[in-house]
Amino acid sequence: MEYRKLGTTDFMVSPLCLGTMQFGWTADEETSLAILTVAQEAGVNFIDTADVYSRWVPGNPGGVSESIVGNWLKRGAGRRDEVVIATKVRGRMWEGPDGEGLSRSHILRAVEGSLNRMGIDTIDLYQLHSPDLKTPIEETLRALDDLIRSGKVRAIGCSNFTAEQTSDALTVSKERGLAAFVSIQPHYNLVHRREYEAELESLCAENSLAVLPYSPLASGFLTGKYQRGQPPPAGSRGASSQRIRDLETKTGAWSALEALAGLADSLGRSPAQIALAWLLSLPTVTSPIIGPRSLEQLSDNLASVEIRLNQSERQALEEASSGL
């Protein structure tokens, strides 16, 4: 793999980041551990998790994904000094007024939980999972700056921030002499382009922010499993995911999917591989976050790094997905 610089840090990360949201949800621990090992053996050195994964599962208090990553490291299957570990903070992890959010008290307690679950001394990239409009951004950034100074965190980033929120945070960091974001996780893929490209793309380029798109396959829509005019396959997320249902009502999304599938077929590749290859070809994108729940999905995703789309292939995809 050709490794890429993570923003302004000295981290060199793989062009694909292994997302772990499925761990402890649709992938049991044995499968999750195998995915981690195979991914690292293939050259993936960048792992993304969050303290709340997967708190929405009945009986899951949160922290399960981080614990699985920690178990992988403790068993010696994973080599800590060879991986860049990113996690996130914001969601509710305990009861009480500071049980969620980006207040100083929540962050300082939450970071200890993440460190303990993963059995590590330092988090390489600590990210704000989403904005907290109730907490001044300066309070949040001062807490993060203190964590960097203490050695518990090496770099910070954000996720789901608008361009205005990101710009405001960068300004506060500069004016107050505080640690600044080095990365951002936007919702960005071939059928969700408008918000990132219209608002965030230039900001990220101007500030050398690493861009780590999540949901690069649009919750499975871009894998080719869905067909225009046909009901979603049994067991797929199409029946329950609002994002999938929204896409199914958009003619443009189907046109983009059909163009993607046609190009994939002509190249002898899967639609998912071409969707990832498109993101990998973009100059502002650092490392899309894949979320495999099986070794088969992981293998398919990993093959995307071998693909080099030419200008006409990229243009065809972008014309078919224009306006989305």
| Residues in CB range of 228: below 8 A, 6 or more apart | 254, 257, 258
- Record the tokens describing residue 17, joined without a space: 């980041």
Q: Where are the domains of the chain?
A: 4-185
Q: Phi and psi at residue 160, in whole multiples of 5°?
A: 65, 25
Instruction: Note the helical H segments in 23-63.
Output: 29-41
Instruction: Specify whether the CB–CB gap between 213 and 239 falls below 8 A.
Output: no
- Record the tokens describing residue 191, joined without a space: 């059928």
Fold (CATH) for 4-185? TIM Barrel (3.20.20)
- Record the tokens describing residue 178, joined without a space: 């505080």
Tens-digit pLDDT string for the chain (324 aa): 899 999 999 999 999 999 999 999 999 999 999 999 999 999 999 999 999 999 999 988 999 999 999 999 998 877 899 999 999 999 999 999 999 999 999 999 999 999 999 999 999 999 999 999 999 999 999 999 999 999 999 999 999 999 999 999 999 999 999 999 999 999 999 999 999 999 999 999 999 999 999 999 999 999 988 878 777 666 666 555 666 667 766 788 999 999 999 999 999 999 999 999 999 999 999 999 999 999 999 999 999 999 999 999 999 999 999 999
How far is CA 222 from each of CA 88, 149, 309, rounded to the nearest angstrom?
Answer: 26, 42, 17
The residues annotated with a catalytic role in the active site are 53
Chain centre to alpha carbon of residue 289: 4
The tally of CA atoms less than 13 A away on the side-chain side of residue 306 is: 11
Its pTM surpasses 0.85: yes
